[in-house]
Each structure stands twice: as C-alpha cells, then as structure tokens.
Homo-oligomer: A and B are copies of this chain.
C-alpha cells in the first residue's frame, strides 16, 4: 500500500526542486527538454496525479457543484441529476448530492455544510417544508457570499438567482384542453395543497382552461391532497380520498392529476369502481416516468423533460461560476413541456 505520490517526493527522488517538477509536468518551456523528459517519465511511472484538494485550496475553486433536492428515489429528480451530471462531467466538474428529505432543517444544514468550501455553486429544488415556512435566509446568505445558485422545479421567484422552470400553468392547460377536446364534460383535478407552488400553478392552469371553454370550475371537483407527511399508509389515504371523490361525483369523465402517482392511483381506484379507461374515464398525468409508460393502460401525460432541465441548469451554473462579472442579471429559462398521448385518453 503506497500512498499517492506527491510533487515533493518526485523532487526529492530526482534531486530537483518542487517548482521544477511542477513546471516540467506542465511542459513549461522554462525547463530543459532533458529534465522534463526525466521528470515526466518518472511521474508517469509512478502514476502521478495532482491532488485535487490542494488544487482547490490554491485556486479557490473546487470544480464541484452541489445538488440539493428533496428526495432521490424519484424518477423526475434522478433524471435531472442525470442531466446535470452529464454536462458537469463534460466540463470537468463533479457533483455532490445533498438530500433534504423535504425537511427545512436538513436543507439548511446540508447547504451550510456544502457552502463551506466544498463546492462552487448549487443546483436545487426547495423542500416542501421550506416552502411552507417561507424561510429562505439560507439561500440569501449563500448568494451573498458570492456562491451562485440555480433553482429548478420548486423555485421561489424573489430569490436573486437563475431559475430553470416549466410553464406549469400552460402545461396544465394543455392537458385539460385535451380532455375538453376529447369531450369530457366533468373534469376533476387531483392536486396538492397550494403551498407547493408547482401544484398551485397546475391547479391554476386547470381553472383557466375550464374558464376558457366557459365551463364553471366546481370546487368539489378539485381534490387537494395533503401530502405533508408521507407515511406508510399514504397510498391508502390517497386511494380513499380519490374514491370518495368518485362516489360523490359519479359522473366525472376526465381527471387531470398533477403527478404520476396521483394519476396511476386514480386509474386504479376508477377501475375498481368499474370504470373503463379511456371509455368511461380519461386520465392525464404529469411527469413522464416509468410508471406512466408501463401502466396499463399506459398513461397520457405531460412530460417535463427532466434531463433537459438538469442540463440547462448545469450549463447556467457553470457559466456563472466561470464568468468574471460578479453581478450579471439573473435568468429564468423555461423548458418546453409536451403532451404525450397514450392509452388513457381517447
């Protein structure tokens, strides 16, 4: 077990100075060909690789970007990570991951931990608890220390940083318009509580789409699921709520769900109640994950290109990290969404 070799050891072994070794390995013309060859050969033989930590300290750059997300066992988030990793890697960056588990405290702790020199910038999606408490001091402090942040998905607009989002309102309208066009007369929405901004915006899109077609939105068709505590029997509760929605409003013939799980669960409940999909009931979900593709019937859904979001976020962040200007304008990039039609709609 030999420790990694350092410049100092090479220098000592070859009877030259550390500086000379460093320059030789960088092919500096300050050093004679002869010496360079000797040093390079030696370094190659011992598989010398510069120590990243020392470089980071010297350059005050870590070449690492931090990702801070609520959870990782989630198709959308892992797609985003994949996208981030792809462009980060291409530009010589590593990614380090922090999970908040939807907890405010863990988000703050993780952020402070990573902000203490470990990374050059953040890409993040805010936890639900933070959204609920509306306490963003950790974000502002980080930004004030000159560390760039790019937010995606769950963003908060009055933070001064770049953002990568989709147009949730428009995307939701696309979905609901499709249901209306497909002759649905009574369209329900399964959504989240309003403090989750993406849920709120999608609900807003639902309402707007109905209004556009002069359909009066009915409050009892709007089911706002409380998912603050995702417990074991979470799915059961969800099923119960959806079931009573159908029992109270038996003539629902279209459902727009703001995520995959709500949509899949809706189909399951509806099938158990004897509904045929898409004949009796048409369902559209949000986010194109593995569930939508492989459910039966497969799910028509609004896809938000997660990988693309990650790629753009990483590109924005790296650009900001490497730009000299300390105060350039904040940008918001809107990624297109698309309605993917499958078997759950006519």
Does chain B have a CB within 8 A of A216? no
Whether A1 pairs with B326 at a CB distance below 8 angstroms is: yes
Q: Does A141 contact B (CB under 8 A)?
A: yes
Q: Are B296 and A294 closer than 8 Å at their CB atoms?
A: no
Q: Does A57 contact B (CB under 8 A)?
A: yes
| Complex CA distance for A341 and B4, rounded to whole angstroms | 51
Asked if A85 and B73 sit within 8 Å, CB to CB, the answer is no
The number of residues on chain A lying at the interface, defined by a beta carbon within 8 Å of a beta carbon of chain B, is: 57
The interface residues of chain B lying within 8 Å CB-to-CB of A326 are 1
Q: Does A128 contact B (CB under 8 A)?
A: no
One digit per residue, 1 when the CB lies within 8 angstroms of any chain B CB and 0 when it does not, for chain A 312-345 equals 0000000000000011000000000000000000
Q: Tell me, in angstroms, the Cα distance from A14 to B4 when the chains sit together.
A: 40
A117 and B54 contact, Cβ closer than 8 Å, known pairs A97-B97, A294-B264: yes
Measured CA separation A345–B85 after assembly (Å): 40
Q: Which residues of B contact A20 (CB under 8 A)?
A: none
Across the interface, which residues of B come within 8 angstroms of A32, CB to CB? none
Nearest-neighbor residue (CB-CB) of A99 within chain B: B85
Residue A64 interfacial (CB < 8 Å): yes
A291's partner among B56, B78, B271, B290 (CB-CB below 8 A) is: B290
Q: Tell me how many chains of this kind the complex includes.
A: 2
Contact of A52 (CB < 8 Å), options: B117, B290, B291: B117
Contacting pair B99 A97 (CB below 8 A): no
Tell whether, in the assembled complex, residue B294 and residue A268 are in contact, meaning their CB atoms are under 8 Å apart.
yes
Q: Which residue of B lies closest to A61 (CB)?
A: B53
Partner-contacting stretch, out of A43-51, A176-184, A194-202 = A43-51
A114 within 8 Å of B by Cβ? yes
**A3: B residues at CB distance < 8 A:** 145-146
| CB–CB B99/A47 < 8 A | no
Which of chain B's residues has its CB closest to A144's CB? B1
Query: Residue A118 contacts which of B52, B89, B271 (CB distance < 8 angstroms)?
Result: B52
Enumerate chain B residues within 8 angstroms of A62, measured Cβ to Cβ: 53
Which of B64, B99, B291 is the one whose CB lies under 8 Å from A82?
B99
Pick the residue among B51, B79, B296 that contacts A296 (CB under 8 A): B296
Residues of B near A56 (CB, < 8 A) are 53
